[in-house]
Chain A
Amino acid sequence: MRYVDEFRDPKLIRQAAREIRRLAHPGRHYRIMEVCGGHTHAIYRFGLEGLLPANLELIHGPGCPVCVLPMGRTDDGLAIAELPEVIFTAFGDVMRVPGTKGSPLEHKARGAEIRMVYSPLDALKLAQGNPDRHVVFFAIGFETTAPSTALTLLKARELGVRNFSVFCNHVTIIPAIRAILESPGMRLDAFVGPGHVSTVIGCRPYEFITEDFGKPIVVSGFEPLDILQSLVMILRQLAAGRAEVENQYARVVPWEGNLPALRALDEVFELRPYFEWRGLGFISQSALKLRDAFAEWDAERRFTVPGIRVTDPKAAQCGEVLKGVLKPPQCKLFGRECTPERPVGALMVSSEGACAAYHHYVHRVAAAASPEP
């Protein structure tokens, strides 16, 4: 029960944990995927797995944008970054993602002009302040961050800023969930649905999970009590033989999503025919690209992008971990060749990646507790 007493409602937490144990049928094994990396981080940080019965397994899903980005896309972005006229900008999470010849941070150290920004609007401002240079923004993220890129592009067009473009790596969560559900050997029973993505897309897009696949999904908040309550809601559905979309996070997530955000996405982006996801392979209509009307602001059309496919290091088993076939420490490289300090695979880079979260909260704690041999 580590951490439980520092929670806001330790009593409610214990109640929810008891209810989960009561609802989980002892003769059944439950596999529930939390789609969002934010949930993965919270689950490990708060030690929630320790509150669950042994026959309830949480599978960590694909909802960490830097984790599912194939290395080839990082290389493509860095090829643009090395052009002399370019100032390349990216979020902090991207700066440490390994490419074939090092991360953006390492390229920066070798002289490429790469700057970290906290908002795409900062990249646009940088372009306005550097009219003799071309500023490229490395856009990444699910539907939570894609509207901010869309609004920034609308702003660039409105202001006529032409020395600015976007290297677009936005992905959409629904096709990834469908790909997982359709993958051979899929054994999931239900999903904990993403919180912040759902503030944008709402709850309706998840209906195919219940209608076509007969699996429950509960959109969840990020607090320990939220996640446990969502598991209670899932187990109640499973016990009653129901498969519905439910919204545990209604205090933030509107059922219909954010309509202005959806309109902005539709105006600026269209679906790519297919896009490669690290660990999941090519998924059709799973990523966004700029519409023709925004061709001028599309870095992939302005610059020659090598478009090289890079296979992950053979020994790394990121794909198996992403699909929930392996737990992080079961990967051959985990904690040895691949650590948060020197990540080989992207799952070790972001705090929302399953491997980094596991390494930080489980592996290190266990290592500190066991005496030196």
Chain B
Amino acid sequence: MCLAIPGRVVEFVADRPQLAVVEVAGVRRQVNVDLLREDGLDPGEWVLIHVGFAMSKISATSAEEQMRMLAMLGEDEEAMREIEGYDFGQES
């Protein structure tokens, strides 16, 4: 729950402006980007994700550092399980 997972914005979801496809270590999932829309968010930018919501924009370097940090804390696998576990953007 307290994991901050870095992801790269790939594209926005048609007709659902609150959602964007992000990529984390090769895995693509939709996350909610409502909290970052005001300041503008573009494909290619990096974000920190908490429980399915992009909470802050970060640099590519910070994203890389954060991923390395998660690995050093032994939380990288849990982070990937979390990203893969986001179900709300999946077709049901």
A contact set with B: CB distance below 8 Å: 6, 8, 37-38, 41-42, 45-46, 64-65, 91-94, 117-122, 124-125, 129, 140-141, 144-145, 147-148, 151, 196, 199-200, 222-223, 251-254, 258-261, 264, 351-352
Contact = CB atoms under 8 A, between A and B. Distances in A.
Contacts of A118: 51-52, 81-82, 85-87
B24 to A, nearest CB: 13
A199 B92 contact: no
A94 B51 CA distance: 14
In terms of DSSP, what is the predominant structure of the interface of chain A? helix
Contact of B51 (A45, A120, A200, A261): A120
A64 B32 CA distance: 24
Interface residues of B, number: 34
A196 B47 CA distance: 13
B72 interface: yes
Q: Tell me the dominant secondary structure on chain B's binding face.
A: mixed
Given A37-B2, A38-B2, A261 B55 contact: yes
A145 B74 contact: no
A119 B52 contact: yes
The 5 closest A-B pairs by CB, nearest first: A119-B52, A121-B88, A118-B85, A91-B1, A148-B53
Given A258-B35, A259-B38, A145 B72 contact: no
A8 B75 CA distance: 17
Nearest to B49: A119
A140 B53 contact: no
